[in-house]
Chains A and B, each alone.
Chain A
Amino acid sequence: MRTADWLRVRIGSSVFAFRTDAVQDVFTPGAMTPVPRASAEVAGILNLRGRIVTVIRAGRVLGLPDPVGTTDGQAVGFAMDGDLYGLWVDRVEDVVPIADDAILAPPAVPDRWAGVVDGLARIGGELVIVSRPAAFVFPSRPPSQSPVPAFAPLDPETLLEAFAR
């Protein structure tokens, strides 16, 4: 039986677990530059050791109110498509081993949660939501729209060869 290490984090009253190999580091979100017109879950961007990290507020993805102390909490750093993100959670708890067969299929959950709940596991007496930090980046996974429209496909018959480099 395979067992992996999972990072437990608290978001609101729930405990989520991310595989540790999906997590690059844990940091305290410092001064952030807000991004006007970005979706609500984007807390801002910050400089983490010379790299720009987009910080996502996990609670907002789940439709939870922001914690009272707005600068509290910790961020789980991870990479997705070559970009760095930080998932801002209320608290990072610890690392626990979870056996693959201890993970149960996800229950029916509200829409907002559906994208981020991969399964459930019981650790000690506590129910833990098995998830991936990257699942919080595009929670509702809108149809991916490039800001600049893509080139309309050219007539493949005539151009296929010409475009071959």
Chain B
Amino acid sequence: MQELIADFVVEAGENLEQIDLDLLRLEGRPADATLLNGIFRLLHTLKGASGFLGLNRLQAVAHAGEALLDLYRRSGDPMPTEAFDGIVAAIDRVRRLLKALGETGAEPDGDDADLLHHLAALETGTPSVLPPEVRAPPSADPSAVTGPDETWGAPANSVRVDLNLLEAMMRLTSELVLSRNQLLRLHGETRDDPYALSLQRLSTITSALQDTVMQTRMRPMGLVWKTLPRLVRELSRTLGKEVAVELSGAGTEIDRQLLEAVRDPILHMIRNAVDHGIETPDDRLRAGKPRGGVIRAGAMQEGNWIKVRIEDDGRGLDPERIRARAVAQGLLTADEAAGLSEPATFALIMAPGFSTAETVTNISGRGVGMDVVRAHIERIGGQVEITSRAGQGTSFVLRIPLTVAIMPALRIRAGGQAFALALSSVAELIRLEGPQDPRIERVAGRALLQVRDELLDLAGLSELLGLEAPDTGRFAVVILAGERRLALTVDEIVDTEEIVIKPVSGKLRELPEYGGATILGDGSVTLILEPGALATLAGVADGAAAHRRRTQQPSTDAETQTPPVALLYLEVGQDAPVIATMTHVRRLERVPVSEIRHGPSGPLMTYFGRVTPIVPVDGVRLQTEGDQSLVMLAVGDDHIAVAVDRIADMDELPLEIVPTDQAPGRRGTALIRGVPHAVLDLDHYRQQGLARLMGAAAIGAAGCAA
């Protein structure tokens, strides 16, 4: 019986949500028969089920509401406001009873005589006043919901699954993925043994299973959207404002855990928009705007991200006042504030300390709880961006990862310990020459790292975490935490790996620097670092890093803005595949080793009738039999042949080379599909070859002269 009741509560709750939405629409279209029928049918179902379960109060309220609706359903007359308010009151009562039922498993004591009497009076046309303790019904506000009608119900061919079962399935699949990774690692490079094929199949099926299970966790954004019209309606009425809501992208799906995580931040932002964004009708008219404001909430998928936009057409943010406020609160110096870009200024409203100020609502800011909103969004690996135009409105864009359970991570080592960072929060990797690297500057006790034309805050991970072993400062990882960026020095960059995030225990949850932990393929446990908390720990102020930027290009867009370039994938020595750009590359050749001669200054061959020096890449030994792979570089009409072990592939991709590697012959590192690749400096070998060509020419000239 209790199970039946629990199922009933869930199902009735869903029906109520649909009724809420229909009621809001009905308010604007009081004679819409389809809406009326829909509400009637849902109430009827509710009545039947509650009668079956012996829930007498629910049954009586549903029945009275149904009877009242039936009157207008039959007559086709538009519903008068009193009747509408009566239905709303009935629904509110149903909601309260259901809530109690869900909590205690039984209907609460008491009766609904007041409400039932009122509804009966409405039905018979007897004058009746709504009992005062029944919630005040909404005034007619037909603009409250616009936008296309969308249903948010589940499709008919679906089953209800216990959430715990779903979670268990997810967990087991994650374990399977880890075991698969472990097996693949154990199997290693042996390619021709009898396990290879089976392992390949296992691997493919595991990936497919993982995708499928992730699919089962996806929920539509509409689940959040449908609560918004009512929230806005109640808030705007309390505040004496007129606000309409426009919703889009209700069908955009997102992992249910993430949906839960973004629900409260979104509701807060909506609340802020009504409270601080939208002006009062009088103010709006004075500003030459329509009386009523509009809040638009939309969601769309962009690759592996969900973009949620919350927009209002209110008064907008005033950068000058935000700067002044930040200076007054000691978040920035006046000089810093003066140089602050607009995006960085807007980001200040999400700074801890800024938003908690009582007076914030007076300065046309809208900081209430924005620091908390940001903390929640960053916690799930998301970002918040703010744009605003004075007098025209404000727009918040949340970028939220599509799924959270499995993600690519960068493994690093610092202070003798391994850690992992979500690859999505890694902007770039930089090789340093230790603590004395000339790009490191120290100003007023702070370390800064020059990266191209910016200065970034620099902190040693080992030092931040209080590890005993000091940093060797061999690498810097630039991490992103929303607007903030921080260069972290680490000892080693290990590799990238797909990891399954597991939450840390309650005991460790008091440490914000860890977003979770993971079990790696070798069975060891690694902590996952939380970029936002590290930035806070390092004292990176909001906007402070951003204002040092001399270019205003967000680094995350760098990849999409870089034009694609032609690339070669090469195997050289023991290294993982390296890449090289095609600059000066004229041809790719495989020549029989018999054509290679060994001259006094190194190997040579004759190529198109000319003596051509062969320069092996460091770590490459020339083949002694078969063919030699060569990359032919142009020097005027001459060539330089650069010898490699294998030419693996060619591709065309946007490439951002990070000058991490100061070793000769290397240009740095580039992230290709999330994997760092060393970039070979072919020009270095071209210069070597050129020197030999010149040397040969000089010797030749000297020989002639002699």
Contacts and interface: CB of A to CB of B under 8 A. Distances in A.
Contacts of A52: 502, 504-505, 517, 519, 525
Given A33-B525, A34-B417, A162 B234 contact: yes
B391 interface: no
B420 to A, nearest CB: 11
Given A33-B417, A37-B513, A147-B510, A45 B525 contact: yes
A159 B264 CA distance: 12
A147 B513 CA distance: 9
The A interface is mostly helix, strand or loop, or mixed, namely loop
B178 interface: yes
B209 to A, nearest CB: 17
A161 B507 contact: no
B523 interface: yes
B272 to A, nearest CB: 11
Contact of B524 (A31, A138, A151): A31
A14 interface: no
Contact of A147 (B230, B417, B511): B511
Given A148-B512, A162-B227, 17 more contacts: A32-B525, A33-B526, A35-B508, A36-B465, A37-B465, A38-B511, A45-B517, A52-B505, A54-B505, A54-B507, A83-B507, A147-B533, A149-B375, A154-B271, A155-B238, A161-B92, A162-B235
Contacts of B227: 162-163, 165
A36 B95 contact: no
B181 to A, nearest CB: 13
A23 B438 CA distance: 56
B505 A84 contact: yes
Contacts of A75: none
A42 interface: yes
A45 B504 contact: yes
Contacts of A54: 504-505, 507-508
B466 A37 contact: yes
A161 B417 contact: no
B507 A151 contact: no
A152 interface: yes
Interface string A82-108: 011100000000000000000000000
6 contacts: A35-B508, A37-B465, A38-B511, A47-B519, A148-B372, A159-B235
A7 interface: no
A17 to B, nearest CB: 23
A129 interface: no
Interface in A39-75: 42, 45-47, 50, 52, 54, 56
A13 interface: no
A159 B13 contact: no
Contacts of A137: 506-507
A52 B519 CA distance: 8
Contacts of B231: 159, 162-163
B234 A159 contact: yes
Rank and list the top 3 A-B pairs by shortest CB-CB distance, nearest first. Answer: A147-B512, A83-B505, A36-B465
A1 B624 CA distance: 88
Given A45-B525, A52-B519, A152 B505 contact: no
Contacts of B135: 161
Interface string B450-480: 0000000000000001110000000000000
A127 interface: no
A33 B505 contact: no
A164 B95 contact: yes
A47 B526 contact: no
Given A37-B513, A151-B369, A158-B234, A50 B519 contact: yes
A163 B369 contact: no
Contacts of B342: none
Contact of B507 (A56, A163, A164): A56
Interface residues of A, number: 41
A110 to B, nearest CB: 22
A145 B230 CA distance: 32
Contact of A146 (B95, B264, B267, B509): B509
Nearest to A155: B238
Contacts of B507: 38, 42, 54, 56, 83, 85, 137-138
Interface of B: 13, 17, 92, 95, 99, 135, 175, 178, 227, 230-231, 234-235, 238, 264, 267-268, 271, 369, 371-372, 375-376, 379, 415, 417-418, 465-467, 502-514, 517, 519, 523-527, 533
Contacts of B234: 158-159, 161-162
A35 B502 CA distance: 15
A123 interface: no
A111 interface: no
A81 interface: yes
Nearest to B267: A163
B115 to A, nearest CB: 16
A4 interface: no
A26 interface: no
A72 to B, nearest CB: 21
Nearest to B513: A37
Contacts of A37: 465-466, 511, 513
Nearest to B238: A158
Contact of B511 (A35, A46, A161): A35
A83 B512 contact: no
A33 B527 contact: yes
Nearest to A79: B505
Contacts of A45: 504-505, 508, 517, 525, 527
A80 B510 CA distance: 16
A165 B524 contact: no
B369 A152 contact: yes
A35 B178 contact: no
A149 B376 CA distance: 9
B13 A165 contact: yes
A145 B510 contact: yes
A137 to B, nearest CB: 5
A70 to B, nearest CB: 15
B495 to A, nearest CB: 18
Contacts of A34: 417
A164 B18 CA distance: 13
Given A85-B507, A148-B379, A35 B527 contact: yes
